Every structure is written in structure tokens, then in C-alpha cells.
Amino acid sequence: MKYQSWRLQDDKKALHCEPLNVVSCRRKEVVVGADQYLQTANEQDTVLIVEDSTTFSALLSRRINQTLALKTVVAGTLKEAISILSERSNEFCVAVLDLNLPDASEGEIITPVLSYGIPVIVFTGNCSDALRKKLLDRNVVDYITKESLADIDYLLKLIARLRKNCNTKIMVVDDSSTTRLYITNLLRLRNFQVVEADGGMQALELLQQHPDVKLVITDFNMPEMDGLELTRRIRIHHKRDRLSIIGISALGSGALSAQFLKKGANDFLTKPFVNEEFSYRIEQNLELMEHIEEISFLSQKDYLTGLGNRRYFFDSAPKLLAAAKKEGKNVGVSMLDIDFFKKVNDTYGHDGGDEALRHLSLILREFEAPRTLVSRFGGEEFCILIIDENGDSGERVENLRKRVEESSVCWLHGSFSITVSIGHTCGPVMALEKMLSKADELLYSAKQSGRNRVVQNNMNNQRQ
């Protein structure tokens, strides 16, 4: 069956309006991957698909499973959907609904789904301007027409965005409570967390209380401090790549838009705006920041292990050294690498070698502390910089070596072991290059004297 044949006939329904049903996202902290990033995840991990075409629902279900790693539950009729909702409504993070079902051809499915507080995305065959307005008036998140496979890609992106929005905080600044309520409802419909301010001064105070705000939407015409001045003050402490600002005004002249952009805004909207354009502008600005953040992360982190790379090490080390020098603390520097790593690659292949590197990086993460810097320098070589608080950095490095020796790398249906050689030097703060060079010399000695050992010295008498 060709995709085009799944299109529905025109929806000729008089859809009534329903009150806004704000969805609250339940959250928990989870550790994701080797990066050990604390991320927030929704407890709901299932998408409800209500669609009478088994071919299309199977395709959609498979794409959601594979691309988003979410579970799916499929219903082919209104009756079946209501039965599922009565038993499992708390599992669903979003519902994807067809409007034309065998036992409900006029969009009746929307009402029961919204009554459970589940965000609704309509996936329909055709959507006229009149139907579009009626759907948005019913507070569905969005509507998508079944015209090409690209529409499924858009649906997947939208679902992913809705889940991410649960962790995204936006501030709305406007002296009109009516306008604030209207914008806040639009944002909450798409799962955003919202902070409200009735003016510029309150907005600045709330930004200090909520440093995780990602985007500020500010009106221009407000008493005491207008949107332009608020934008200027925000930009003193918040860069564009960390916080987006969108100016809005009923005075939508090109000059005002230009002034907002010059003061540091990322975007501008003229009131009244189309709800869909408002939502897309919001998410476009957030996605741009996320891309910048990802690029910044990748430039500082090793892609395989998630540890900092050489650039991250040399960017971060001066701050650690300055703190140690100010406090009169010694600093330990260790260079280490995996023994006979070429043999690991020859025996288990490069995939096995990569797994050994990941295994070592997880052990090194156990070694990490607020005043310890761990980085992958390249290949099988790693570096540790530590403020020697208690004079035990050498002992800690030896314990690290033992930890590696006693552990096993899980590989395919078995496991294998690795060892590391470490060169460790400790003493007063010196030029970073000199400490690294000394640790490298000691690493060479460790390898020459038999491997799987720590060779260390004390540099107290070698102050530069």
C-alpha cells in the first residue's frame, strides 16, 4: 500500500472548544551514558496511537520505538482507546490521534484523551483552515497532515521536543495579566515550565532565583522598565548562547524589532501573533541554543569515553592550579596508559579496544572529585591533575592501579583484563608543562621497569 493511500477524506466536523488542560510532567533524575549527565526524564514512556489503518499504525509504532526508544500502544477504535485509557492513562506521555475512526468519524476521540491530561497531536489526512482553527481551539498541541514520510519525521521531532520541554523553563514578562495568562497557557500546552513576571524589575529578581531559565519572552511597553531596557540588563550577565530573549509588541514596526535585536534579543514577534508561529519560534530558538551547547560540549569532551579531552584539560587546569597556589596546597599530576594496548586491539579487535578504553574511563570517573581533573590525552593515554589535600595522592593513584588490575572488561560473551602503568609526580605548583613532562618521564620508567605499576617522586625540592 502506498503512503498516499492512507490520506483521509476531508474532515467536515464542527469541533467544539474545550478548556485548557495543563499537563504536569512527573520527573526523576537519571544518569545517562558515560557522561553521567544528570537529566530529567518523564515517568510516562509510552505513546498512545489511535489509528484504524493497521499498516500506518505499525509503521508509526516502529519509528517511535526505534527513533525515540519509547513504547507504543495502538487502538483502532474509539471504544478500544477508551478501554485502554481507563486502565493505563498514567503511562502515556502523548497521544497521536486520527480524527476519522470507524466508530467516531467526527473527532470524538479528542475529548476523552484530553480529559486524562494527555497532550494530543492530531495526525489527519487533510486539514482545512477551518478545521485547523477548530483543532487549535480545542487545545491540541499540533496537527500534522499525512502527506509524506517527512511528516512522520516531523511528528517524531515534535514528540521528542514535548518530552524535552518538561525540563525547560521559560519566563514571561508582561504587565498585562491577561496577556501573561494567554502566553503561559500556550507554553504549558507544550509542556514548558513557566515563570511569570509583571515587570522588568521582578524579571531580574526572578532570573537570580531561577538561573536555569532558558528563554525570556518580554513585552516592550511596560511601566518602570520597558522590554528594551530589560533586554539590555539581562545581556550584562547572560550570553545569547545560554539564554534566549524574544521581544513582543503590538507596535510591530521594523525599527522596534531592530532595536530589540541590537540590545541583545534573539528574536521578535508582533502581537497578535499566530499561535503556531509563536510555538515554532520558541522551539527554534531553544534548538539553536541546544546545538551551540552540543558543539561546545563536543569540542571539550572525548567522544568515546565522555571524559574531558586535551583542550578541556588545558582550559581547566589553570583554575585548579591557581586555587592550589592560593591555598598553599601541593598538586599531583599523573600520566597513565593501558599496558600492551596494541595486543588488546590485535586480540579483540578495535571494538574490544574501544570497550577497554570505556571500561578504564568509568574507573577513572570513580577517581574524579571536585578538585580533580581527569582527561583522555589521546589513544590509550590519560592524565590526572589533583589538588593533594591530604598528602595521599600517591596512595590514591596506587589504589586506582589496583582497581584496574582487579576489574574485568566485559566483552561479547566473556571478559578480559587490562593493566595500566602510571607516572605520578607531586609537589608545589609549578609550570604545568614541567609537571606534565616529569609525569611522562615517570610513566616511561614504569613501562621500562615491568608495567602494571606506579612510579612516582616528590617535587618539593624542585620548585621553579
Distance CA 100, CA 52 (A): 8
Cα–Cα distance for residue pair 315/298, rounded to 1 Å: 14
Sign of CA dihedral 435, 438, 440, 446: negative
Locate CATH 3.40.50.2300 in the chain.
3-165, 169-300
* Alpha carbon distance 310, 434 (integer Å): 16
Spot the catalytic one: 80, 224, 380, 441. Answer: 380
Listed in order, the ranges of the chain carrying CATH 3.30.70.270 are 310-458
Provide the grid cell at 38. 544528570
Residue 293, Cα to own-chain centre: how many angstroms?
A: 9
Sequence-distant (6+) residues with CB within 8 A of 29 are: 38, 39, 40
> Quick check: 15 and 40 in contact, CB under 8 A?
no
Q: For strand 409-411 and strand 414-416, is the pairing parallel, antiparallel, or unpaired?
A: antiparallel
Q: Which CATH number fits domain 3-165: 2.40.400.10, 3.40.50.11540, 3.40.50.2300, 3.40.720.10?
A: 3.40.50.2300
The 10 Å CB-count burial string (b at 16+, else e) for 142-181 is bbbebeeeeebeebbebbebbbbbbbbebbbbbbeeeebe
Alpha carbon distance 186, 276 (integer Å): 10
One of 3.40.710.10, 3.30.70.270, 3.20.20.140, 3.90.550.10 is the CATH number of 310-458, namely: 3.30.70.270
**Considering only CA atoms, which of 226, 245, 456, 450 is closest in space to residue 333?**
456
Tens-digit pLDDT string for the chain (464 aa): 333 333 333 333 333 334 444 444 433 333 333 232 233 344 689 999 999 999 999 999 999 999 999 999 999 999 999 999 999 999 999 999 999 999 998 889 999 999 999 999 998 877 777 877 888 888 899 989 888 889 999 999 999 999 999 999 999 999 999 999 999 999 999 999 999 999 999 999 999 999 999 999 999 999 989 999 999 999 999 999 899 999 999 987 779 999 999 999 999 999 988 888 999 999 999 999 999 988 888 889 998 999 999 999 999 999 999 999 999 999 999 999 999 999 999 999 999 999 999 999 999 998 888 889 999 999 999 999 999 988 899 999 999 999 999 999 999 989 999 999 999 999 999 999 999 999 999 999 999 999 999 999 876 544 33
Cα(247)–Cα(242) distance, integer angstroms: 17
CA-nearest of 114, 172, 102 to 138 is 114
- CA-to-CA dists, residue 320 to 109, 272, 370, 374, 429, angstroms: 59, 51, 10, 12, 10
29 is catalytic: no
Q: Please state which CATH class domain 169-300 belongs to.
A: alpha beta
Residues in the chain: 464
| pTM reported for the whole predicted model | 0.69
Cell numbers placing 266:
534573539
